[in-house]
Amino acid sequence: MTNKIKIAIVGWGNVGRGVEAAIKQINDMTISAVISRDTDRVKKEIDNRLPMFSTEKVNEVKADLAILCGGSATDLPYQGPFYANLFNTVDSFDTHSDIPKYFAAMNEVSQSKKHISIISAGWDPGTFSLERVLANSFIPQSKAYTFWGRGVSQGHSQAIRAIEGVADGIQYTVPAEQALATVRSGTNPELTTRQKHTRECFIALKPGADEKKIKELIVNMPKYFSDFDTTVTIESAEQVAERRKAMPHTGFVITSGKTGNNKALIEYRNQWDSNPDATACILVACARAAFRLRQEGRCGALTMLDIPPSYYSPLSHAELLRDWM
Amino acid sequence: MTNKIKIAIVGWGNVGRGVEAAIKQINDMTISAVISRDTDRVKKEIDNRLPMFSTEKVNEVKADLAILCGGSATDLPYQGPFYANLFNTVDSFDTHSDIPKYFAAMNEVSQSKKHISIISAGWDPGTFSLERVLANSFIPQSKAYTFWGRGVSQGHSQAIRAIEGVADGIQYTVPAEQALATVRSGTNPELTTRQKHTRECFIALKPGADEKKIKELIVNMPKYFSDFDTTVTIESAEQVAERRKAMPHTGFVITSGKTGNNKALIEYRNQWDSNPDATACILVACARAAFRLRQEGRCGALTMLDIPPSYYSPLSHAELLRDWM
C-alpha cells in the first residue's frame, strides 16, 4: 500500500526493535528505513528484512516521519535538531530538567523547516505527564504523586555494573507499599525520597571480588542509591543473565484533592512486561498524531500535552463518537 | 477582575451547585449568571449571591460560555441547540447511543454561530472515553473494560422509588471483585453483564407495603435489575435519608493487550466522594479549554477526545514544560 505512513527508525536498539514490532501490530504504517551509525552490527540482525541506511546516506531516505530511538544523554541533544531539519520527528527525550531547552531547540528547527517534532514521548515523560496534567486540571488544588516500579532501571543497572569486581548486575526500583497506601488514602502526605521507593540490586561477582566492600559501595553511592533503602543480593552470573532478558516496568500516577468540599482521587497505573516495547508503541501512536497534525498544516515542537487524544487513534472520528465515547 | 472567563450556569441542581463550588476553587473564572426555569426555587437558595435570570430573560445574560447542567433525557436535546445558538457551551450529554446524533445537531448550530460546543463532558462519557481511546491507541489490539462503582446510580434509585409501597430508596452499583481480578490478570476474558457488576438496593417501605412482592418486583425489573445479581435491604426512612445525603462514585477503565509480544495493561480509576461535584469540576476544566479554543478561532462541536490536555490546565505552557512533564 502506498498510502501508509512511511517511518524511518533512527537507531537500532531495544526501542528501535520495539518500533518494528509495534508497526507489525497496526495497518497504517510501514518502515521505509532503519538509519544507524553501525550498519555492520545492524545488518546482521535485520538482514534484508528492512531497508537500511548509514547516517552518511540519510539524504537518500524517503520517509514521512523519523522516530528517534537514541538516548537523551548523548544522542538526542544533537540527533534531535539534526533530524528535525530533515523530517517530522518523534523522540523520547527524558531528561526532565532539560525539556524546556530541548523544546526550544527543536521548535526553532521544525518551525523553520515546517516540520512537526513531538518531543519527550513515552511514559515518563509522556503518558504520565499527560495524566498528571489532566488529573490536576480536573481536581483543583490537588497534589500529584508518581511512583515507578516494580521495574528495571537501566541507569542504575549500568551504575552497579561499572563497579570493579562486579561481573554483571541489574537493579529494580520498587515503590514502597506503605507510601502507596498512604497516598491512596487521600491524606496528601509529604514523602521523602527514601519513603517513596526502595532499590533492589542483584549482582554476580568476579572471582576474588570483595563482597562486603562492593555492597557498601553500592548502598552508599551518591545520587543513585544513598538516598534510598537499598538491598544487594549476590547471585550467579547465569541467574543475573536470566533476569536481564526481561525489562518489565510498572508505574503509578496518583492525584488527590477536593472537588468542591469533597475528596477526589484519580489513580493511573501502567504495567509493561517490556518497557522498551511499550515506549515504542507510544512513540508509534505519536507518529500517527504528528503525521495528521502536519497534514493540517501545523508545525513546530509539541509534547503529548499538546495533542488531542483522537489523533493517536487509528479509528475514524465517526467510529470514536459511535463506539468509544 | 474583568479578564476572568464569565460563566453562565444553566440549571440549578446538584451539578449546577458543583459548578459554583468548582469555580470558587480556581482564579480564572467568574459566574455571571444562573439561568433557571424555576427562579422562585433557586432564588431561595442563591439569595443575592449570584446574578439570576429566568429562561425568558436569557437574552440579557452576558457570558463567555454557558455550562449546561440539565439532564440528557429531556433537557439537553432541546437545551443544547438552544444555548449553542447563543453561547459557547459545555454539557454532559450522556446517552451514549445518541451521541453521534447530538454531536451533529450541536455542530450544525455552533458552526453557523461560530461558537464552540463541548458535548458529553464528565467522567463517562468524558474522562473515561478519553482513557479508553488513549489506552487503546498506546496498546494495539487491546481490549477495554469499564467498571462503575461502588457508587450511587440516580436512574436506578429513581426506578426503585417509583414502585408502589416504597417510601424511599437508593441503589449502589458494585463492580464484581472476581471480574476485576480476572481483567487485571490480563487474560482478556469475555464477561457477561451479570459477571461484571452487582446491584445493592436499600429501601424504606410505606406502612402496610408487601415486602416480599416489592423485593421480587425490583430484582426482576427488566433493563434495570433483571440482568444483575441484585440484593434488596429494608431500612428505616431515616437510614435511607442518611444514605441519600452522599453521592459517591468510583469507576475503572482497564485496558489490556500486547506491545509487540509482551503483555501490557493500563488501569485508570477515579474515586469521587461527590459524583456531581466531580462532574462539575470536569465541566469547568472543559469550559477553560473551550474558551481558549474559541480564542484561537475554532468553532463547532467537540468532545473531550478532540481537546489537547494542556488546554484544560490553568498553568501556562512554560510552567507545564518546566514542572509537569
Cα separation, B127 vs B135, whole angstroms: 12
Q: Which residues contact B112 (CB under 8 A, 6 or more apart)?
A: none
Contact A138 B127 (CB under 8 A): yes
Average pLDDT value for residue range B77-100? 96
pLDDT per position as a tens digit, B161-212: 999 999 999 999 999 999 999 999 999 999 999 999 999 999 999 999 999 9
B258 has which bridge partners? B263
Cα separation, A166 vs B156, whole angstroms: 64
Residues of chain A falling short of pLDDT 70:
1-2
Q: What is the pLDDT of residue A2?
A: 59
Q: Which residues contact B123 (CB under 8 A, 6 or more apart)?
A: B251, B270, B272, B278, B279, B282
- Separation in Å, CA of A28 to nearest CA in chain B: 12
Any B CB within 8 A of A19 CB = no
Contact of B259 with A277, CB cutoff 8 Å: yes
Neighbours of B176 (CB within 10 A): 18
Contact B270 A265 (CB under 8 A): yes
Contact of B115 with B82, CB cutoff 8 Å: no
Q: Look at strands B249-259 and A300-302 and give their pairing.
A: unpaired
Contact of A11 with A34, CB cutoff 8 Å: no
DSSP characters over A232-260? EEE--HHHHHHHTT---EEEEEEEEEEET
H/E element, B19: helix B14-24
Cα separation, B123 vs A134, whole angstroms: 12
Q: How many CA atoms lie within 13 A of A16 on its CB side?
A: 20
Cα separation, B20 vs A117, whole angstroms: 40
Contact of B204 with B237, CB cutoff 8 Å: yes
Q: Measuring CA to CA, which residue among B295, B126, B279, B93 is closest to residue B104?
A: B93
Contact B274 A282 (CB under 8 A): no
Cα separation, A292 vs A1, whole angstroms: 18
Phi and psi, residue B226, nearest 5°: -65, -25
Contact A271 B265 (CB under 8 A): yes
Contact B324 A139 (CB under 8 A): no
Report which residue type is found at A263. K
Q: Measuring CA to CA, which residue among B214, B122, B201, B114 is closest to residue B163?
A: B214
Question: Which residue of A15, A94, A134 to mutate against B (max B Cβ within 10 Å)?
Answer: A134
Look-up of cell digits 433537557: B75
Is B207 exposed, middle or buried (CB count within 10 Å of its CB: 0-12, 13-18, 19+)? Answer: exposed
Rounded to whole angstroms, the maximal C-alpha distance in chain B is 67
Give SS3 for B86.
coil
Torsion sign across C-alpha atoms A75, A81, A83, A88: positive
> Which among A103, A259, A308 has the least Cβ separation from residue B308?
A308
The H-assigned helical ranges of B144-210 are: 154-161, 177-184, 193-196
Mean pLDDT, chain B, integer: 96
Alpha-carbon distances, residue A160 vs A152, A228, A248, B135 (angstroms): 13, 15, 19, 34
Q: What is the pLDDT of residue A154?
A: 86
Any B CB within 8 A of A219 CB = no
Give SS3 for B281.
helix
Cα separation, B279 vs B302, whole angstroms: 17
Report which residue type is found at B145. Y
Cβ neighbours of A140 in B, within 8 Å? 22, 25-26, 281
Which residue of chain A comes nearest to B20, CA vs CA?
A: A260
Give SS3 for B163.
coil
- How does DSSP classify residue B99? H
> Which among A25, A130, A325 has the least Cβ separation from residue B140?
A25
Cα separation, B189 vs B210, whole angstroms: 41
Cβ neighbours of B95 in A, within 8 Å? none
CA dihedral A191, A197, A198, A204 (to 10 degrees): -150
> Per-residue confidence at B8, pLDDT binned at 50, 70, 90?
very high
Any A CB within 8 A of B130 CB = yes
Cβ neighbours of A262 in B, within 8 Å? 272-274, 277-278
Q: Which residues contact B91 (CB under 8 A, 6 or more apart)?
A: B67, B68, B70, B76, B79, B80, B117, B118, B119, B120, B121, B283
Q: Look at strands A143-148 and A249-259 and give their pairing.
A: antiparallel
- Separation in Å, CA of A226 to nearest CA in chain B: 25
Average pLDDT value for residue range B300-322? 97
Contact of A95 with A72, CB cutoff 8 Å: yes
Distance from CA of residue B190 to its chain's centroid? 27
Q: What angle do CA A300, A302, A305 make, to 5 degrees?
A: 155
Cα separation, A203 vs A98, whole angstroms: 32
Contact B138 A281 (CB under 8 A): yes
Q: Which residues contact B207 (CB under 8 A, 6 or more apart)?
A: none
Which residue of chain A comes nearest to B23, CA vs CA?
A: A260
First and final C-alpha spacing in chain B: 31
Q: What is the pLDDT of residue A247?
A: 93
Orientation angle between helical segments B14-24 and B275-295, nearest 10 degrees: 60
- Separation in Å, CA of B108 to nearest CA in chain A: 16
The H-assigned helical ranges of A185-249 are: 193-196, 211-219, 237-243
Mean pLDDT, chain A, integer: 96
pLDDT per position as a tens digit, B227-280: 999 999 999 999 999 999 999 999 999 999 999 999 999 999 999 999 999 999
Cα separation, A282 vs A286, whole angstroms: 6
Report which residue type is found at A118. I
Q: What is the pLDDT of residue B47?
A: 84
Cα separation, B323 vs A267, whole angstroms: 20
Any B CB within 8 A of A129 CB = yes
Residue B274 grid coordinates: 461527590
Any B CB within 8 A of A134 CB = yes
Contact of A163 with A214, CB cutoff 8 Å: yes
> Which among B18, B129, B313 has the least Cβ separation from residue A137?
B313
ipTM: 0.95
Neighbours of B144 (CB within 10 A): 19
Contact of B54 with B37, CB cutoff 8 Å: yes
> Which among B268, B282, B321 has the least Cβ separation from residue A268?
B268
H/E element, A282: helix A275-295
